[in-house]
Amino acid sequence: MTDLYELTACQLIAGYRSGAFSPVEAVRSVLERVEAVNGTVNAFCRVDAEGALEAARASRERWGRGEPLGLVDGVPTSVKDLLPLRGAPTLRGSRTVDPAGGPWDQDAPSVARLREHGAVFIGKTTTPEFGWKGVTDGPLYGVSRNPYDSGRTCGGSSGGSAAAVALGAGPLSLGTDGGGSVRIPAAFCGVFGLKPTYGRVPLYPASVFGTLAHVGPMTRDAADAALMMDVISAPDWRDWSGLPPRTDGFRDELDGGVAGLRIAYSADLGGAVSVAPAVAAAVRRVADRLSELGARVEEAHPPFTDPVEAFHVLWFSGAARLVERLDPAQRELLDPGLAQIAEQGARYSALDYVRATEVRMALGHAMGGFHRTYDLLLTPTVPCTAFEAGLEAPPDAPGRRWTSWTPFTYPFNMTQQPAATLPCGTDPQGLPIGAQLVAARHADALVLRAAHALTPAGR
């Protein structure tokens, strides 16, 4: 017998519909799992067991009447603690946020859509302070750890969400991604993560990191992510930059396969990135599998050089604006790394920012041209597997900042393209490896379709 906490959201919905089990049984199973694992991995910073069970009982009644509220009625779901969840403090991993400050009376758009569809909220997941880096540790929540090895990082900044999904502590989680923060931890924890096209999932409140910041699903597989996207991609008036609604669902296109697609495979961005051999081999196997499924795969590299300096201007300037709002006493409470990049960001001029924006626009133009030839780009998600927990970068990284070891992720925040990571094996230490699929802007359904084609049968 499979424990209910091991089931995907799609499997749970099928079970509710058939009467094989109820949302109450599923939520109890997940809550027991959270209690068993959270002390080790620190995935959740807040758990609302009583509220979750109350919502599950209401869902059970609706399913009993044959009247589910929506697409994810009764599915255990978690929310990264950068996104407002009504009734719960959103502390953003920071000691500078007063838990009593409240009133904590609204949902973020994506949370609101999930609530409207009957999702059962288990709690809030951990984040580094204000989601500023690619690992999950900080002064408020401490260190979050990898489900496969508690001595290793779970990645970040949506590390708590990735660890929760990997461990069966709810099959659906909302993450945010400003430079890889959905994809990095999903890769390190062996789960699926999607950074949608910017604006496809509405965001409110607006991020200080501007239009680099995306909201996306973190799930076991692409089918659950498509289900989640059909819920959270509905428009919300609060997001001035949100996209109009789609005319069809993401699930409608999942089974289209990859036959005939033109796929560029870049193992190392044209020799610009040093990739661990196990990672390179695993992603090579994904390329081979795509060929077996009928795609036309060829080695080709995206037409850009590393835009890290421009990204730093944009990212560090956002951090400076964040810190600017704090009084001196609050600034003393910050993660030292966040304080450092904010200090650097405050030294940039308006011209520096405009120049970085020009780099960004040129990058987007180049990738637009690239996707006239190729439907998808396949790369590693991260060039390494999970390293020691509590570090911003592995000891052998080319730099001390998190961007020094994430060259495959942040460029596509700058271009606002959809990009997903899917698990594709493990290294000799048993640590997960992720492969990244990138498509042209607005081709989110294509990314999900290709990832679904790669999902092993039975998942």
Per-residue model confidence as pLDDT tens digits over 397-407: 999 999 999 99
Give residue 106's domain range: 7-454
Per the prediction, the chain carries an average pLDDT of 97
Torsion of CA 162, 279, 419, 150, to 10 degrees: 10
Q: Of the residues 157, 158, 233, 317, which is catalytic?
A: 157
| Contact of 293 with 257, CB cutoff 8 Å | yes
Q: Which two tokens stand for residue 5?
A: 């906490």
Amino acid at position 235, single letter? P
Rounded Cα distance, 279 and 266, in Å: 12
Catalytic residue, candidates 181, 233, 266, 317: 181
pLDDT band at residue 408 using 50, 70 and 90 as cut-offs: very high
In a domain, 99, yes or no: yes
35 located within any domain: yes
The CATH number of the domain where 26 resides is what? 3.90.1300.10
**What per-residue confidence (pLDDT) applies to 459?**
54
- Among residues 29, 80, 124, 317, which one is catalytic? 80
- The reported pLDDT for the residue numbered 456 is 79
Asked if 157 is an active-site residue, the reply is yes
Active site residue 241: no
Active site annotation includes 133? no
The answer to whether position 13 is within a domain reads yes
pLDDT at 102: 87
- Has residue 1 been placed in a domain? no
- Count CB-CB contacts under 10 A for residue 325: 9
Mind listing the pLDDT tens digit for each residue in 322-348? 999 999 999 999 999 999 999 999 999
Question: Which of 138, 155, 199 has its CA nearest to residue 385?
Answer: 155
Q: What is the pLDDT of residue 1?
A: 57
Q: Is residue 2 part of a domain?
A: no
Q: Tell me whether residue 288 is in a domain.
A: yes
> What mean pLDDT do residues 50-78 have?
98
pLDDT value of residue 457: 60
Any domain includes 28: yes
What pLDDT, on a 0 to 100 scale, did the predictor assign at position 231? 98
Residue 123: inside a domain: yes
| Domains in the chain, number | 1
Over 60: is that where the pLDDT of 458 sits?
Answer: no
* pTM of the shown model: 0.98
